[in-house]
Amino acid sequence: MHYVADPKGDLVPAAQTPFAKDATFGYKNSNLRKYVVEKSGGSIPEHRVHSVSLEDIRTGGVDAVSKKLLSLEKGSVIVVNAVVDTDMEVFVLGLLAAKTQGKTYIYRTGAAFVSTRLGIAQIPPLTPKSLGMSTQASQPGGLILAGSYVPKTTEQLQSLISGRGSNLEVIVLRVEDLLKSPECADQAALDAADKAGQLILNGRDVLVMTSRDLITGNDGVSSLKIGSTVAAVLVLFLRLLVPRPRYIIAKGGITSSDAACKGLRMRRAQILGQAASGVPLWRCTEQTSKFAGIPYVVFPGNVGEVNTLQDLVASWAKDFKPSMEYQRLGKSSLKVSRVILGCMTFGNPSWEGSPWVLPEEKALPLLKRAYDCGINTWDTANTYSNGLSEVLVGKALQTYSIPREKVVILSKLYYPVMDITSNARPNPAVNDGVLVNQMGLSRKHIFEAVDASLKRLGTSYIDVLQLHRVDETVRSNPEEVMKALHDLVQAGKVHYLGASSMHCWQLARLHYTAKINGWTGFTSMQNLYNLVYREEERDVNPFCDVEGIGLIPWSPLARGLLARPSNVQTERSKRDAKTAKWFAGDQNEKIIGRVQQIADSRVCSMSAVAMAWLLHKGACPIVGLNSLERIEAATEAFRIHLSTEEVRLLEEPYQALAVQAI
């Protein structure tokens, strides 16, 4: 009886393993002598099959092994029984002694024999670094090719797809489509090669796999024919693939053999070592082979633990950090960074009610780092720190010689601006008394506020001027508001117009007033929108979608609620009255728990999941990034592509809330 160790280390009779039960390559005998007879269909009779037993090896030693090998007739088949490395070492010494007597042997064996026969000492798994490969982000992606249907391979593929998440592109070849006709099979291979090639060029790791529903024939022959058709498609895929991957991992014994010999035209390859335990790594340098010199990993179907393939692909991954992405703001041609820097964070730490604001010496390096990381869109307002936020934005451009055309500056007006040296906020903010005409949406205040902002910013124009809030002018005289804004655009002081938190009817009234009169309408809406406050989805967001107005939501992390487990509080959150007021839903804990659940499964931060949800909605969130680490991690959300089920999981607990922050 011969045994195979399962993943738990238990010994299973060879004929009871999943591979033995395969429809095409299965077998019934656990005794390898009878297995040879069975698999040869009787062409090799049992009297020609012999064993080198453990007793021969452990009791008789090298001489006994050599004597038995020399006693066998030409054409004999020899089954070698070995359990540990020392057994194999004794056998190999006996084999070498027999060879000196003129005997010749052909080997059909595994990695343990090869390493012992060649005297290769155990070495750790090879890595890209040990092979001298570059792991820079600019390198092409790798290719994983999977055709094996054994249950372990399917489990390993599931682990790979789940574990690598958005770091892995998956192309599935549906077997039922491949079997329709040769033309369908050829077209599938061509389509897969085109798609995989583009992804590899873009630096993405690609898994090309056959669908997991095992399709078999009525008997072994017809099942083998199906398997041959599938294998031929994988070979054709490799032949059609043009861009050279960084590496190739072939999953499955037949897949790896066909891919190497037929797809890549390898005739002879060097065994460099192992990529993982029991997983050989080849390199073929023949110039007649395709992708000569490429690292080629031969990953048998039944080898390794559930996570071995995932761990291997992860260890061969590039030093990948997603770069900043950009998109058009609404239907305009203006492109903004998909993560916008919120500059309320910068200014006067003593500004009333905002002890988290950072002073100049801390703010300027962060603005520079944001620019260096590709965050080219900065959102401020004239009222933030009584104008000091705008001053610091302008100072960053000057201090670091940042070209004005390289950044997109958004600012806002409505509220009064006190003296820049004052720590106070106007309370109440009423357009009367000492504040008369110093706030609101009159033509006078709009013009004066823009001129003051331009002076503080040290620039001649604002890219996007936003209405911070609205007043009764929206109802009584929307023409005054929109004509004043349009005149600023015509004068070149402002390039685009945006709105901020307001009722949908107010947004519509202002926007349609502009459209009816041929004036400049809104390009953006900066509203309160996140996973725990979604009231904007009832009317504002659909209106913006129809009108081509881009969403740039503020407080995307709900003042930090979505960035940490619900049982964790910060000093700021303990005394933050606005959090309790705006995000008062009973469902918060459940939503936050689901954010944490997805973050754990994706191996990312909770912030990345919350931001990824907004990116999924097409929004460009405004984030207050108060440290170099947070700025450098701002692109983390780009690698999180939420599935339909994950989006449903995040959204399902939400219940209606009272409208806030208007």
Point out the residues that are catalytic.
384
Question: Rounded CA gap, 398 and 457, in Å?
Answer: 10
Q: Are strands 326-328 and 335-337 parallel, antiparallel or unpaired?
A: antiparallel
CB atoms near residue 656 (< 10 Å):
9
Beta bridge partners of 145: 208, 250
3-state secondary structure of 648: helix
Please list the residues that pair with 467 across neighbouring strands: 413, 499
Q: What are the distances in angstroms from CA 87 to CA 11, 30, 83, 111, 300?
A: 18, 20, 6, 14, 24
**Residues 256 and 144 sit within 8 Å (Cβ to Cβ):** no
Between CA 264 and CA 282 the distance in angstroms is 12
Task: Give the CA angle between residues 490, 491, 495 to the nearest 5°.
Answer: 65
SS (H, E, C) 93-114: HHHHHHHCCCCCCCCCCCHHHH
Instruction: Identify the DSSP state of 148.
Output: -
DSSP classification of residue 406: G
**What's the DSSP call for residue 323?**
P
Over the range 241-276, which residues count as b (16 or more CB within 10 Å of their CB) and which as e?
A: bebbbbbbbbbbbbbbebbbebbbbbeebeebbbbb
77-111 burial code (b ≥16 CB/10 A, e <16): bbbbbbeeeebbbbbbbbbebbeeeeeeeeeeeeb
Closest CA to 153 of 314, 316, 310: 310
Among 103, 38, 30, which Cα is nearest to 69's? 103
Q: Is residue 89 a contact partner of residue 116, using CB atoms and an 8 Å limit? A: yes
Token look-up 């999941």 returns 609
